[in-house]
Chains A and B, each alone.
Chain A
Amino acid sequence: MDPHALAILNLLLATPMVATLALLGTTRLRTCARVLGVQGLAIGLLPWLMSDEHPTLRIAALMVGNILLKAVVFPWILLRVSRDVEVRRDPGGFVGSGMAVSLGVLCLGISAWIGRTVGASLPAHPQGVYVVAFFVILAGLLLIIVRRRAVMQVMGYLTLENGIYLFGSCAVLDVPFLLELGVLLDVFAAVFVMGAALRQIHLELRSDDAAQLSELSG
């Protein structure tokens, strides 16, 4: 790989990590949606850049579709939903932003260990790719757990999906086109349904505070 491509690759590898940490530390939902878009763009470009072969037309179309969904459509849906349910900030649930970022750094350490252990048995790529993928997955889970707003939990789910996409596109070389398309459509449908669910929660409770969803227990 030539030095320019390597520099771009390193920059792209760092982008999802920084974006994910920013998601953990930001309370403004508008900013979070944009950061999610940046994360989606970087993760969509990474497998393309790491591939040694020129992608066929249909693979290229799938990648462009993937980037459009993750960098443009999903953030746009979430921005619209947060505007409709009149929510601007997520004050955080069990932990504040600072603690969330600290936990994120801890996740990074765990991911470094998992990424190196599992990555040793996977197709050769810069080992950092697997570390980044596992970090994004763990941080997505963390976002779902520590945030109060249901919109932020959807962002956590998308972050988790982004991590899995990055892992899959590097680790598995032989996945049929139609299947990738099916998975992408499924994720799109899931986000669409979650958006509809958020509107229903807002209509019923006049809020999207997940902490208020505590009537059922035991």
Chain B
Amino acid sequence: MLVAPLICGAACMLLQRPEVIVRVLAIFTTAFLGAAILLAMQVFDYPEVLLSSDHSLRVDGFAVFHILALAFTYFGSSLFGVAYFHHEIAAGRFAAAMARRYALLWLGGLSAMFLVLVANNLGLMWVGMESTTIVTAFLITVRRGSAPIEAMWKYLIICSVGIAFAFMGTLLCAAAVPGTGAGETLLWTHVMESRANLNPQLMKVAFVFLIVGYGTKAGLAPMHTWMPDVYSQAPAPVSAMSSGFMLNASLYCVLRYLPVVEATSPGFGSHLMIGFGLTSVLVAATFISFQRDAMRMLAYCSVEHLGIICIGYGLGPLGAFAALLHTLHHTLAKSLAFISVGRLGQVYGTHDMGRIRGAIDAHPVYGSALLASVLALIGVAPFAIFISEFQTVRAMVAQSQWAVMVFSLIGLSIIFISMLRHVIGMVFGKRPEEVDVVEPHVGGRLLSFMFLGTLLLLGVWLPPPLLRAIETAARVVGGQP
């Protein structure tokens, strides 16, 4: 699963027709999802699966939960890519050379993110995360023009600096670990076993660097500034993939260190998580209210949800459970929202919310999907996000975090009203005359139904294997075996 995407990406370089290339991506990611499910079933039976004899690569419950989210996001985004690029090819904006480059980078990103999730060596995890920045930068510039270039440059510089900070944090963590001389210093399992003997001062400094560094890539405020620019300029499948999973992968890196710093300095890591989380929710609330571009609005919405997830992880075991649940729900809802806005953007020729009117009339499938996904994102019942947000608030009450609860709820209320106002205008306004009604394709219906159906189902019923996976993952974040 680590090498296969690279082989498939290299094989795509031999293909001539862009339509075939995007279909190959969809087929490959479907197979990847199947392999991820098989791997998950193995991990459900055993607490961990070693992938290399030197313990550098290892999968546990926390990793496999994220691997499933990664595989599902890539699967959904690649399927949508077939329809999205069909229109780009027809418009002459996606030539064969571009498609080959896209395929290589798309699958390179998949391989790098998989490496992040299976790396037991914290240095290797960093290498994977840095690789995602390098590989995905040129996915932003599939469209020509100065704005995508600007977005790519900001992404490259801001995230590279962030990841450099994360490397500094990794080194500080290694310096805090008593060395064995056997090259084990950076193994996460070794760091966890040595928790009692770590230098607490160094671990504190390390965690600050790590949360700022990986947090930059995760889009936590105030390091989120690259995100609205990138999501508004990248092709919709790239934005869906990045928001649906890449942000989670960066946060995953921080979370590997959370039980370590909590063991050496109780409360330090969780307070930082809550602080960055709350800042993200409030910054998102401020910026969402006056957005004009639908993609930028969704980008700030990602800042908000990553903030909620961070707050959850800072609130102990109950909060960690809610955060994991929220990660899954956000991945589904946000992917669908980006897919809908991306397709509607092609129909209307813009992402300007002032000019997208009557979407449900122009494209009934994606218009409805946009409405439903935004309702899910703002936490309307019975969609699953309502449940995870409710669980997070319960965790705040259990921990007596009253101030955090009040400010979070204020932020969430502002976001609720602002996003609802924006989306009602887009979906129910009067369709401009120059925009033709699009006959929905069966693939679009199926894709939307798959995402929405899952969100609704998870809102009322959590399948026992998934519940077990989340509980296992929550135990890992909580530092329990």
Contacts and interface: CB of A to CB of B under 8 A. Distances in A.
Given A157-B160, A172-B171, A194-B156, A186 B130 contact: yes
B134 interface: yes
Interface residues of B, number: 55
A164 B149 contact: no
Given A144-B157, A200-B141, A179 B121 contact: yes
Interface string B130-160: 1101100110010011110111111011001
Interface residues of A, number: 41
A204 interface: yes
A137 interface: yes
A153 B202 CA distance: 30
Contacts of B138: 193, 196-197
A122 interface: yes
B134 A186 contact: yes
A216 interface: yes
Contacts, number: 129
Interface stretch (B175-183, B251-259, B473-481): B175-183
A1 interface: no
B160 A179 contact: no
A204 B149 contact: yes
Given A179-B186, A186-B134, A160 B179 contact: no
Contacts of A193: 134, 137-138, 156
Contact of A182 (B124, B153, B184): B124
A210 interface: yes
Contact of B160 (A190, A200, A213, A214): A190
B123 interface: yes
Contacts of B146: 204-205, 213, 215
A60 B156 CA distance: 32
The dominant DSSP class at the A interface is helix
A121 B202 contact: yes
17 contacts: A118-B205, A141-B161, A144-B161, A157-B160, A172-B174, A174-B182, A175-B174, A190-B130, A190-B134, A193-B134, A194-B160, A197-B137, A213-B149, A215-B147, A216-B151, A216-B228, A216-B229
Given A175-B183, A215-B150, A218-B287, 6 more contacts: A118-B202, A171-B172, A174-B185, A179-B124, A186-B131, A213-B154
Interface of B: 121, 123-124, 126-127, 130-131, 133-134, 137-138, 141, 144-147, 149-154, 156-157, 160-161, 164, 167-168, 171-172, 174-176, 179-186, 199, 201-202, 205, 228-229, 232-233, 287, 290-292, 296
Which 6 A-B residue pairings sit nearest by Cβ, starting from the closest?
A174-B179, A176-B183, A213-B150, A174-B185, A168-B171, A179-B123
Interface of A: 118, 121-123, 137, 141, 144, 150, 153, 157, 160-161, 164, 167-168, 171-176, 179, 182-183, 186, 189-190, 193-194, 196-197, 200-201, 204-205, 210, 213-216, 218
